[in-house]
Every structure is written in C-alpha cells, then in structure tokens.
Amino acid sequence: MRLAELLPVCVIFLLPLCKAVSSMPGRVLIWGSGSSPCWRVMIALEEKGLQYESKQIEFSSKGHKTPEVLELNPRGQVPVLKDGDTVVSESLATLQYLEEAYPEPSLVPKGASPQVLQRLHESPNVQQAIGAVFIAKNKNEPQEELDSKVKELKKELGYWESYLGSNKYIAGAQYSLAGAANHIAISLRFEPLLLCARLVYT
C-alpha cells in the first residue's frame, strides 16, 4: 500500500494522548486502545467534524465486559457509539450510520456508492489476513505456516492495489468510508506492519 496513505494515520496514535474533545452531551464513544474497528469510527467522527465524549476502556481489565458496556452491546465488544438515543455497535455499521445521520461532509463519493459499500464489506478480509500473520508469528508457528500466511496477505493486498489502480484513494478520487475502514486495518501495529509490508512486497 502507498506509504503516503499511512502517514496521516499517525494522528490516530496521538488521539489518546490529547485531552478528550469537549464533552458533547449525547454523543459518546466507548473504545479500547489497539482496536482497529474503534479507530475506524474515530476516523469517521473526525472526518465529519463531530465532537464526542471519549470513553476509553482497558481490554486487559475486561473493561469491555462491564455492565455499562453489556447494556449497550450484549456482545461486550467495542466500539460502541451512543448518539442521543441511538446506540450502534459494529464499526462498519457505525460508519454507515454516521454517513446517513451526518451526510456532510460526505464520505461516499458521488456515483461510487455500490463500490464503497463493497469495499466496506471487503475490509474485514484485510484485517483478518494481517491478523493471521501476526498470530502465526506470536504462536511461533513453523516457517512454512508463516510463509503461507504472508502469501495470503500478499494476495489480499494485491486486490486492494488493483482497486487503487492509479487512483489516489480506494474508492476513486475522494477519501471515503472505504478508506476509513481500511486505513486502520493497514495501520494496525504500524512499525512491524511496515516491515511486514516491505517483506511482502519486494
């Protein structure tokens, strides 16, 4: 993937260090550090200029399984967005909800809607392929197993390269929901992934 596209996401690493944006009664995001689905929603909120109260939980202390979270999402998963009376889980659903509820600025380029929808639904493939490589490494799987996972990741990234083509962004000439959904999966664990991408793409 293009390095230039990864750089803006450095901002996301700074977000937890900033003071939470001024409390906006009625819009609350519950999220956990290191979760790319959470980053997807944060990117969309930022791109749309929407203020929200940031509630960070700690996975290590099962902060995602508290009664407060379970009441909003029985699956005990984050991100969870509470927007007035609306509660949405599933990051991709939340991206789409935000697009419907706050159409400006739009993250769906004109005429590109089916393509954006499709890329959105394809994005878990990226997350899974990247995750599979790291899981194999962490489990110290045999080299041929690791090679096989890297090969699948290379194949997956190949689809996205072909989607990019000569475009600047994944769904044509404008940053879109599909960009937000994938930006984060690609950026997860930035440094080792860059290394991984270099290994994959030589």
Could you give the angle at the alpha carbon of 63 between the alpha carbons of 60 and 68, nearest 5°?
Answer: 170
Binding residue for its own copies (CB under 8 A) from 162, 165, 191, 202?
162
Cα distance from N-terminal residue to C-terminal residue, the chain: 12
Tokens representing 63 are 């902060």
Beta bridge partner(s), residue 29: 54, 81
Region of 20-28, 58-66, 94-102, 144-152 interacting with its own copies (CB under 8 A): 94-102
Contact between 88 and its own copies (CB under 8 A)? yes
Strands annotated E in 63-191: 80-83, 86-88
CB nearer to its own copies: pick between 94 and 187: 94
97 touches 45 (CB < 8 A): no
Location of structure tokens 């380029």: 109
> Smallest distance from the beta carbon of 10 to its own copies, in angstroms?
28
CB nearer to its own copies: pick between 20 and 117: 117
DSSP code, position 84: T
Contact between 126 and its own copies (CB under 8 A)? no
> Smallest distance from the beta carbon of 8 to its own copies, in angstroms?
25
Half-sphere exposure of 68 (CA within 13 A, CB side): 14
Residues from 62 through 81 that contact its own copies (CB under 8 A): 74-75
Region of 7-15, 41-49, 114-122, 191-199 interacting with its own copies (CB under 8 A): 114-122
Binding residue for its own copies (CB under 8 A) from 25, 49, 114, 165?
114
Size of the site for its own copies (CB under 8 A): 23
Pairing of strands 80-83, 86-88: antiparallel
Q: Which residues bind its own copies (CB under 8 A)?
A: 74-75, 86-90, 92-94, 96-97, 100-101, 113-114, 117-118, 120-122, 159, 162
